[in-house]
Structure formats: structure tokens, C-alpha cells
Amino acid sequence: MSGALLQVDGLRVDYSTRGRWKEVVHDISFEVPAGKVVALVGESGSGKSTVSQALIRRLPENGRITGGSIRFAGNDLVRLPERALRKIRGAQIGFVPQDPGSSLNPLMRVGEQIAETLRIHRRMPRAAAAARAVEILDEVGIPEPALRASQYPHELSGGLRQRALIGIAWACGPQFVIADEPTSALDVTVQRHVLDQLDELVQQHGTAVLLITHDLAVAADRADEIIVMYQGEIVERGATADVLNAPTHEYTRRLVAAAPGLREGRLVPQVQAGEESALFAAFRERVAAQAGSSAPSARAESILEVRGLGKTYGVRGGSFLAADDVSFAVPRGKTLSIVGESGSGKTTSARIAARLVQPDAGTILLDGEDITRATGESLRQLRRRMQVVYQNPFGSLDPRMTVERIVAEPLRSFRVGDRSSQRLLVRELLERVRLSSELADRRPGELSGGQRQRVAIARALAIGPELMILDEPVSALDVSVQEQILQLLVDLQAEFGLSYLFISHDLGVVRQISDRIVVMQKGRVVESGDAADVLGAPAHEYTRELIAAIPGSSAVSG
Amino acid sequence: MRLLRQPGFVISLLVLLLVAVAIVAPSLLSTHDPYLSVPKDRLLPPSAEYLFGTDNLGRDLYSRVVHGTALSIVSAALAVAVGVVVGGLVGLASGFLGGPVDFAIMRLVDVLVAIPGILLALIVVATLGFGPVSIGLGVGLGAAGSFARVMRSQVLRVRNEEYVEAARTLGARMPAVVFRHVLPNAARPVIAVAALELGTAILGVSALTFLGFGAPPPAPEWGALSAAGRDFIAAQPWLSIIPGLVILAVVLAVNRVARAIGGER
């Protein structure tokens, strides 16, 4: 046997759906050497999370291990009795779950939850465990650990909760930790701090880590070795630098190309060749003429301009300044991005611009016309010119409607065309966003996240708007899917002359699509300018921090 | 289907199947004319000839129960329909409009729910006159309050869903938002409650017909049948007990199937 701490040999996992068993992980073998960080990279459905769950035999009820062995510290975890396995879980193998929102018991104080692990595995007395829990919170970089230990999970931010979960994983000094997408629910800046913390623990304790992630850039920054999974099989493995610089498998090459942190500059539109019906040609002409990059000079230079926006939300025990004197202008036919972390006011500003939230102060000009006070029918008519695409493609589509009805909804609302022409246009729109028109009869529940977001884009496009407000349109998606959606947006912009107001927390995404960038922090605009200037020569400290937080940046520079 | 392996559920389904046949084509099940009295066969105990025995006028109780099904169940179904429609619309308006309107409506609903259902039904029947329709209306009004509450809570949930806001940004008018997005997505739990409420409504309707507010005799409503047997309870107890057991069986069967509709196993 080699010096590997964990050795997986020929692992196979089956899942059953409606009583039929299907193999989803096919004959996987890999090892994790002691003290190393190994990243398991793949998209949703690649089986990477299934592998991580199988390692500690924590598969969901409809999953089972059908073959192979998992050797860890002299035991085969596949065959070990449940009682013995329980001693290993938590004590020798730590687990950092994906979702800090639901992985802590909401009714237990944070300190108690860490102490619980210590009391179970170390048989520590209550008082000692409580004291040690505070120390652990301190070790994972949580400020005021004694106070935090006495708080409930909902009183902590997502980043702090994830740190607490990391604390639990490391509480008993494990030799091996499995981190399943530990940061994908977090902002990039928070992600960086949490991953730094993870690195530090690895350095201090010599723990081996299996890092599960969909983001190759994260793996590039943090891992010694990378294993790439695709459709339940390992397609590539090797030292991090080798995998990044000389990927041998086609899929890995695509992943490397898709990672936002690993590429530079704005995406270039790719022209789509293909036939189109007279109906669609007419549609495009109408949209393009309206949105018109070749617009008559009489029009305002900026499609959307906001001046001096202010918005204060009342919260318990005070008020929260969500937007303070925010001004920006979206140039016609171009993309302006607002970037900042949660609570920076970027979404509030965009929602005010979209006339979904009423501002306390400021004016909103659409094509030079003041729309700040538009209500009723005139506000409704504005929707023809200005559309919104939401962050969460799981929430923004009515689950009971078919794709066709969803995309046709704006056409029905504004009585554009009759039933049959609507049907036809919907199908062509679906093709335009690269969805098969066969999907028209499906419901959102049957689609993947990326497909849903394409449906949402097709729906926004259907009425032929000039401006699209895109609120974190890719942050709920896998990195490889993100890149496809961004490319689609760039292509549509070129074809229809659309203008975008693009909101994101991830500067790596923003730099792929933006002409102009506005950086927001705590409700204020701290920096704005041409994308190249802001990215190339950031003037504000916060912008520099955001640039440093782009995953993969250390891999590129180093 | 896992449910079909559960005897309780299968029996309940069979009971409801019998009820359905008894409503649509009672003569398929009945053995005698429910209104024909045979003086020589008065007050006979259950036998092969008369399954449930005969009443004081020599009518076959079994056939009367079968023919009474339609009257009893249709009243109950009407009650549920009234409850769902009235309560549902009130809850929809309350949840969607929100603010002071919501507050005012919900306080009225509190008052409505505070009045015992049977009392409310009695008031309605006393106002509109006796008969199966006014019983249905009365019992339904009593149930409307809880439907309004369920619907309102669902509407409050759905109203804040992103797709509802998305519909507005797509330029949908208010009625389109309410009836195309909010109502269909809020309705499912209400339907599940409606199925459960049917059992309660059957009990309510039977109670009112027992008290004599239903169709005039000789109509064989279940509650009325049970009431008619009261005078003979000492010597011929089956006259009251058997219609009571039929009501019990149907209510239990309805509840079992309703729970399955509600997503329970």
C-alpha cells in the first residue's frame, strides 16, 4: 500500500428513481495523500457530491454503494459496521457541508453545536467542551468568539456560519476533511476569506482535504491535485499546474476555458448562422430599430440614467441605508455592470431603476424621459422597453406553466400577434437562446438551472425591449453554464442592439461582459468608469480587494 | 402505488365507490322500493330479505339508505363547494390586497369561525327555509372561515414568490397576475383541505337532517332515517344504529382518501 490516507478503489454508486436502479458513479478510483488538498471538480450531475457522500456512507435513501472499496486508516469504510463508522465520522473524518443556511440546527446555540461534537467523540465534560468551542470559533477567525458561541445560527452571516461549520469539522482534530462546495453559497470576497481559513487549518494541522467544487478556479487556487469528474467518471487527474496548463481531456479544456478567473477580457459575440422565418426577421428588425445602435442623434445618449438615488430601509432598532446618492448611466447598446458584495446596495439600485422599488430620492431617466413617478398603465407600458432577468431561475418561473406559456406571457399581456404567431415566435426565441423547441411543452421543474435561465432570457426578449436589467443572472449556476449564458447575452446584445444593466458580486463574471463598471460598497458608489480602467487601474481599495478575490487569480499570476 | 397495498385505503376506496354508485344509479344496489310500505313486514330485524331490517311502516331500510345517499352527499358536496368558493375568494382578496383590507376581512373571519358551525347553519336554514339546498349553504358558510384562512396563508406565500413579481415586470395586468399565477399556485392545499372538509360536512348535514331541517318525509336522508328510529331504540335498535354506522363508515372513508390527496400515506 502506498502512503495514501484515503484510497478509493473501483467505487460504484447506484441511484433509484421510481424503483429503477441506475449507476451514476462508475468505477472510480483515486487516493488522497496525507496532508494534501485534492480537489474533485465537475458540474452539477457529474457525481462529485455523490462520491463525497459515499465516502462516509451518507448517501440519500435512494442511493447505494454497489462495488469497490474505500480504505481509510486501515478500515474499509464500505464494509465497516455502522457503529464503528460512527466513531470515524466527525472524529477522524470531518465534513464541511455545502449550505451554511440549513446545516446548523436553528434552535441550538452555535457554541453548543461545536461542543456537541467534542462531547460525543472526545467525551469532554460539558464545561470543558463549551470552553473549547469558543477557542475553536476563535481559531476559524470569528471575531468576538465568546459572544458568537452564545448566539443562534440566524444571528450570524453566511460567511460566519460557514466558518462555524468548518470549526465543527475540525473540532476533533481529524486527519481528513471532506469539504462539499464549502463556499458556493457565498460572495466572492467572503469565499476568499473562508478558503484562506481552510488553507490555514490545513497548514497548521496537516489535515488532508477533499475539496468538492464546480469552480475550477477555486480548485486552481487551493488544491495540490485536481481530479475532474464528468458523467460519473474521472476524466482527468494530476497536479494542479499540469491539469490547468496542459489539460488532456476535451471536457477539462472546456472547464479551463469557462473559468471566469482564468480568462481575461470581454467575451466577443459569435454570429449565429442559420435560417429564420419572416416572422422572426420582422421581430428582430423591430427590436433592433427600437433599440437601435444606429439610433438617430436626437435620442438621449444613455438609454438609462439614474441620478442621486437614495433609499433607506427601516430595520429593527434603526435604519439601513441601502442606496446613498447613487448615480450611473447605461450607454445605449452597451453593458454597465454594478458590482459589490451582499448589502452593498447594488440590487436595490437595480430594482429602483427597474421601477420595482420606490426610491426616497433621485430621478430615473429612460431614454431621457423621467419615469420616476410613472404608475398604472404608463408604468405597464414601460415594461415593453425595459425587462428584468432574475438571479434565481428556480423562483422566477411559474412552476405550473409550460415553457411556451411562460415565454409567451409578455406577448399575451401586450396582445402582440395571435395565438399561432405567438407560438411560432416562442419557438424561434427558444432556438435563439439555444434551447430545443421540444422543450416548449415542459414545465420549469423538468429543466436544469441553465435551461431555466435561458427560458427567462427568452421571455424577457420576447416583447422586444431596449434595456435588460440582469440581477445576478448567472450566480446560481455552475461555472461552465455561467460562461454559456454570458456568451448568449453577448450574442443577443450584438444581434438586437440591447443595452444591459448587469448586477453581480463577482468581478470575474463582470469583466467578461462589461463596457462600464460601477463598484458599490455600503450603499455608495466608490468607483466607476470604463471596464478596462477600473480593472486595469483600480483607484479604490475596495475595488482592489474585489479583484484579488476573483478565484483563480493567484493561479494566473503565480 | 404504495397506497394500494394498504388495506385501510383500499377499503375506503371501495366504500366511496359504493357511495358513487348509490348516487348515480341507486336502483342498481337497492333491493326494494324505498317508498313502498308492506304493512305485514313492519319492524323486522335484518335478514337475507331485508338486509338492514324494516321500519315502522314496513319499508326496506337498506333500500332507503341507498336512495338517501344522493340527498345526503350532494348537500355535503354543495356545502364544501360553497365553503371553497366563498372562503377561497375571501382569502384570496384578503391575502392579495393586504393592509387594512386584509385586517378587516380576517377579523370578520375570526367572528365567523367563533360561531359554532351547527348554530350558523341553523340560522341560515331558519332564514332560507328547510331543505337540502339551504342545509348545504348553511354548512358551507360555517366552513368558509377555515377555507379563507388556508387560502390567505397560501396567497401570502405565493404573492412573494419571484415569478409573481416577474409577471408584473412582464407587463401582466393585475387580474392576470391573480388568476394566472397566484390562484393556481395557492389552490392545491385548499383542495386538500376541501377533501378533508367533505367528511365534516357529511356529519354536519346529517346532524341537521337528524334534527328535521332537511327534505320533508318520506325523503330518506341518512340523518332523518336515524332520527326516525329513535322511537324504537329500545326494541328495534338497528333502525337508528345502522344509518349511524353508514354515516360513520362514509366519513371515515372520505377522511382516509382525503389524507391521501393531501399527500399523506
Segment A167-188 shows an average pLDDT of 85
Q: Which residues between 139 and 168 in chain B have a beta carbon less than 8 angstroms from any beta carbon of chain A?
A: 161-163, 165-167
CATH superfamily placement of domain B3-31+50-261: MetI-like (1.10.3720.10)
Length of chain A: 558
Q: What are the two backbone dihedrals, phi and then psi, of residue A132, each rounded to the nearest 5 degrees? A: -65, -35
Residue pLDDT, tens place only, A107-162: 889 899 989 888 888 888 999 999 999 998 888 888 888 888 888 888 888 788 88
Q: What are the two backbone dihedrals, phi and then psi, of residue B58, each rounded to the nearest 5 degrees? A: 80, 25
Closest CA to A530 of A342, A367, A295, A334: A334
Residue pLDDT, tens place only, A492-548: 898 888 999 999 988 888 988 999 999 999 889 999 999 989 988 899 999 998 888
Q: Is A211 helix (H, G, I), strand (E, B) or coil?
A: strand
Confidence tier at A294 by pLDDT (50, 70, 90): very low
A395-415 burial: b if 16+ Cβ within 10 Å, else e: bbbbebbbbbbbbbbbbbbbe
Task: Specify the pLDDT at position A53.
Answer: 87
Residue pLDDT, tens place only, A403-430: 999 999 999 988 888 888 899 889 988 9
**Which of chain B's residues have a Cβ under 8 Å away from the Cβ of A457?**
none
Task: Specify the pLDDT at position B88.
Answer: 93
Residue pLDDT, tens place only, A82-121: 888 888 888 889 888 877 777 888 888 989 998 988 888 8
Parts of chain A belonging to CATH 3.40.50.300: 4-258, 301-385+465-558
- Closest approach of A288 to chain B, Cα-based (Å): 19
Q: What are the two backbone dihedrals, phi and then psi, of residue B167, each rounded to the nearest 5 degrees? A: -60, -40
Residue spans of the domains in chain B: they are 3-31+50-261
Residue pLDDT, tens place only, B69-120: 988 899 999 999 999 999 999 999 999 998 899 999 999 999 999 998 889 9
State the residue for C-alpha cell 443572472. A473
The model carries a pTM of: 0.77
Candidates B169, B179, B185, partner chain A, best to mutate (most A CBs within 10 A): B169
Length of chain B: 265
Confidence tier at A329 by pLDDT (50, 70, 90): very high
Segment A26-32 shows an average pLDDT of 91
The ipTM is 0.73
What is the C-alpha to C-alpha distance for residues B122 and B106, in angstroms, rounded to an integer? 23
Q: What is the CATH number of domain A301-385+465-558?
A: 3.40.50.300
- CB nearest to A413's CB, from B162, B173, B185: B173
Burial of A17 (0-12, 13-18, 19+ CB in 10 A): exposed
The answer to whether the CB of A130 falls within 8 A of the CB of A111 is yes
Q: What are the two backbone dihedrals, phi and then psi, of residue B115, each rounded to the nearest 5 degrees? A: -80, 130
With CA atoms as reference, the chain A residue closest to B184 would be A400
Q: Tell which CATH classification among 3.30.70.60, 3.40.50.300, 3.40.190.10, 1.10.10.10 matches the domain A4-258.
A: 3.40.50.300
Residue pLDDT, tens place only, B139-176: 999 899 999 999 999 999 998 888 998 998 888 888 88
The overall longest dimension of chain A from CA atoms, in Å, is 78
What is the C-alpha to C-alpha distance for residues B206 and B212, in angstroms, rounded to an integer? 10
Radius of gyration over alpha carbons of chain B, in Å? 22
| Averaged pLDDT score across all residues of chain A | 85
CA angle, corner A39, sides to A33 and A45, nearest 5?
A: 130
Task: Specify the pLDDT at position A293.
Answer: 44
Instruction: Look up residue A363 and give its amino acid.
Output: T
A64-78, A266-280, B18-32, B215-229: segment of lowest average pLDDT: A266-280
- Is B171–A396 a contact, with Cβ atoms under 8 angstroms apart? no
**Beta strands across the sheet bearing A302-315:** A318-331, A302-315, A361-366, A369-370
- Is B170–A390 a contact, with Cβ atoms under 8 angstroms apart? no
- Contact status of A383 with chain B (Cβ, < 8 Å): yes
- Contact status of A399 with chain B (Cβ, < 8 Å): yes
CB atoms within 10 A of CB A1: 7
CB atoms within 10 A of CB B134: 21
What single-letter DSSP state applies at residue A292? -
Q: Is A343 helix (H, G, I), strand (E, B) or coil?
A: coil
Confidence tier at B1 by pLDDT (50, 70, 90): low
The answer to whether the CB of A424 falls within 8 A of the CB of A276 is no
Residue pLDDT, tens place only, B24-41: 988 888 888 888 888 887
Q: Angle between the A449-462 and A419-432 helix axes, to the nearest 10 degrees?
A: 130
